């Protein structure tokens, strides 16, 4: 196992007390369990969508009766064209939107039961990566990542310990004092991933994380997300890049006009024995 993979496993085990007291996160022991194809009874789902619809005031339909379940430790692609409903699903999961109908549960908790004042606390257990990075332009790399800990009440000592670790993991240890406008697009996205994972969430959502990146940089970002997934964190990636998805051989949920039209595992779905290097080879269309 590569040193970086050992390192991220250690990071995931060191989840702080604050995360442990958050609303019903998925335990790491469950997240690292056997893949969902195992004959052993699976752990409780991380995400449940039960006949969920979202209609906008303009008359547009974001989702129309969508149902699916995602289990701990899965790496899932959410695919579809622009306007298909992918981003609606992501925004429903972070409670930026509320469904018009249906039920959504995360780690067994019905999101309709979470009051507005509880939403920030709920979101601390979800890492979110956006296509446009959403970095603070007047803060350094270190400060951008530290900010995610500061808003959850982490102390200075904890921040000093965690931030350098996550920046080494994401390949940013030489960029600590750079500002976002001094970084390439790929480096900025790595900062966004570092910020999303520094709290060691059991669930990480990535909305078009490689949409503005060149192919080789995109591969690096996907390898990083895969490395995080290997620690047990459930990863859901929304993308319109069908070629990349097909090469990666992971579960695919496809939406079109707000409906789930496909939910399947693609090709050889090797969860336990595939290294990050082999994963990268799949993305490049090479033999591992």
Residue 11 confidence (pLDDT) above 60: no
Number of domains present in the structure of the chain: 1
Question: Would you say residue 179 lies in a domain?
Answer: yes
| CATH code for the domain in which residue 187 is found | 3.40.50.300
Backbone φ/ψ region at 90: left (φ over 0), alpha (ψ -120 to 50), beta: alpha
Question: Would you say residue 288 lies in a domain?
Answer: no
Question: Would you say residue 157 lies in a domain?
Answer: yes
Name the more confident of 34 and 259: 259
Residue 39 confidence (pLDDT) above 70: no
The pLDDT of residue 25 is 43
| 242 pLDDT tier (thresholds 50, 70, 90) | confident
Question: Would you say residue 63 lies in a domain?
Answer: yes
Contact 221, 189 (CB under 8 A): yes
Question: Would you say residue 76 lies in a domain?
Answer: yes
Question: Would you say residue 274 lies in a domain?
Answer: yes
Range of the domain at 14: 3-283
72-108 pLDDT, tens digit per residue, is 999 999 999 888 999 999 999 999 999 999 999 999 9
Helix 276-283 vs helix 215-229: crossing angle, to nearest 10: 140
Length of the chain in terms of residues written:
288
100-118 pLDDT, tens digit per residue, is 999 999 999 999 999 999 9
Q: How far apart are CA 72 and CA 235, in angstroms?
A: 9
| 283 pLDDT tier (thresholds 50, 70, 90) | low
The most confident of the ranges 65-69, 118-122, 192-196, 248-252 is: 65-69
Question: Would you say residue 144 lies in a domain?
Answer: yes
């Amino acid at each position: 196992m590569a040193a970086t993979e050992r390192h991220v496993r250690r990071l995931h085990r060191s989840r702080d007390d604050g995360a442990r007291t958050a609303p019903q996160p998925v335990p790491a022991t469950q997240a690292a369990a056997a893949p969902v194809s195992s004959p052993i009874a699976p752990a409780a789902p991380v995400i449940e969508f039960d006949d969920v619809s979202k209609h906008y005031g303009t008359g547009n339909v974001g989702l129309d009766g969508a149902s699916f379940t995602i289990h701990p430790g899965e790496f899932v692609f959410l695919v579809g064209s622009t306007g298909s409903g992918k981003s609606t699903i992501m925004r429903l999961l972070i409670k930026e939107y509320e469904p018009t109908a249906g039920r959504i549960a995360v780690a067994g908790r019905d999101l309709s039961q979470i009051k507005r004042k509880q939403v920030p606390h709920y979101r601390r257990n979800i890492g979110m990566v956006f296509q446009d990075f959403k970095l603070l332009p007047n803060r350094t790399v270190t400060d951008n990542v530290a900010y995610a800990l500061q808003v959850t009440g982490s102390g200075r000592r904890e921040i000093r310990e965690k931030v350098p670790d996550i920046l080494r993991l994401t390949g940013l240890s030489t960029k600590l004092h750079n500002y976002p406008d001094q970084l390439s697009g790929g480096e900025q996205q790595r900062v966004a991933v570092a910020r999303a994972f520094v709290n060691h969430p059991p669930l990480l959502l990535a909305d078009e994380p490689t949409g503005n990146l060149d192919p080789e940089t995109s591969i690096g970002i996907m390898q990083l997300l895969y490395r995080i997934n290997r620690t047990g964190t459930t990863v859901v990636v929304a993308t319109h890049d069908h070629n990349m998805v097909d090469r990666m051989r992971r579960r695919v949920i496809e939406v079109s006009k707000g409906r789930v039209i496909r939910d399947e595992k693609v090709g050889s779905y090797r969860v336990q024995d595939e290294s990050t290097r082999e994963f990268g080879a799949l993305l490049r269309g090479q033999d591992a």
